[in-house]
Structure 1
């Protein structure tokens, strides 16, 4: 069943706040990811990616009116999560690209900090559950900075490599009282997914 991208429910009001975090100089990447997920959940992601383009006014005037209505709603949703506004843009896609150009800076320093935090993270006084949650948050944020993987044959090997790296980070920071279990896990070939051995 094809979903009509121009469909708006009663809940899709212009005043809706899609994400609670406001865009700032320091959080563009996580903010844009949250907005994209929220728009995708509402089947409106195409208005910022350009996959729902503006119809031709000469051949589709009625469709253009519907597009403009939904485009304005999507633009307003984005503006609702900004501390400052860019109200003079005429399309959600242009607004999105303007924000990307303005706020997306090099991620190198932040990626470096995340990797350093992962390498230095130790269980210490945390429970296994707390430690697992902390490392999972860091790992997922770091993962969000990686480029989208292609569907080629190497994608699976890369995913397995990254999962093994994740497991290693987790095992390195475990308290020494888990050294026997850690040793048993490291002898496994291939290494199990972190979610499986976490339950041991």
Structure 2
């Protein structure tokens, strides 16, 4: 009785909640075990084999590590072996089938790997004879472990770098466009653009024109040229 009370919770808790509901009121571990065996241990279950094969076809590495992906496939293959075992009489048939099955499971594993493993996948497929599934996994696993250490910065970091660069470009563009948008300088002496009165050649003369430069000394910002009257005493 004590053993029943110890083992029954373990068996029930190991089941899916919806399945466990049907075993909660049973009297002994033996009753639970026999009932579960009759319900779920039917070998040669064609529908179950189909579902497992479908899961195998849909299983891809994606965001998983190679180890996680490989472990999921191994679990599905074990289920498939249980529900659809081969019963062969001729030992030669057993060896031939086992070789065929091993190759196809290797193909399943390689087909679901991410694209970054394409070079090593191609290398495995041209190997004669094909390596075992375990050997293929052993050759790919170190590459999967090495890649994170050599990966580019995380997407958030790259986004931040891109944002900083973009903001700097915008600031520079705004600064330069702002400089171009300043009002054009206009000389209030000659009326021409791109210079002011203090740099007007018409007023001050070109650089090196001494005569014009001396003439400009007698001008002011708002007055005409002033010349002394002839004969005026000092």
Q: TM-score, normalization: structure 2?
A: 0.45
CA distance in 2, matches of 1:15, 1:148: 39
CA distance in 2, matches of 1:150, 1:127: 37
Asked if 1:85 is matched to 2:26, the reply is yes
Gaps of 5+ in 1: 1-11, 28-80
Given the alignment, which residue of 75, 98, 107 partners 2:45? 107
| Cα distance, 1:13 vs structure 2 | 4.4
Distance 1:86 1:148, change over 3 A: farther
Given the alignment, which residue of 52, 67, 81 partners 1:143? 81
Q: Which of the two has greater helix per residue?
A: 2
Q: TM-score, normalization: structure 1?
A: 0.51
Asked if 1:189 is matched to 2:182, the reply is no
Give RMSD over aligned pairs.
Answer: 3.5
Aligned residues: 130
Alignment of structure 1 residues 1-200 onto 2, 5 Å: 13-15=3-5, 17=7, 19=11, 21-22=14-15, 82-85=23-26, 96=34, 100-102=37-39, 107-150=45-88, 152-153=90-91, 154-200=93-139
CA distance in 2, matches of 1:179, 1:115: 24
Gaps of 5+ in 2: 140-234
Distance 1:133 1:13, change over 3 A: same
| Cα distance, 1:104 vs structure 2 | 5.3
Task: Determine helix, strand or coil for the equivalent of 2:105.
Answer: helix
1:27-74 per-residue CA deviation (whole Å, 9 max, x = no partner) reads 9xxxxxxxxxxxxxxxxxxxxxxxxxxxxxxxxxxxxxxxxxxxxxxx
Larger Rg: 2
User: Are the aligned partners of 1:163 and 1:194 in contact in 2 as well (CA < 8 Å)?
Assistant: yes
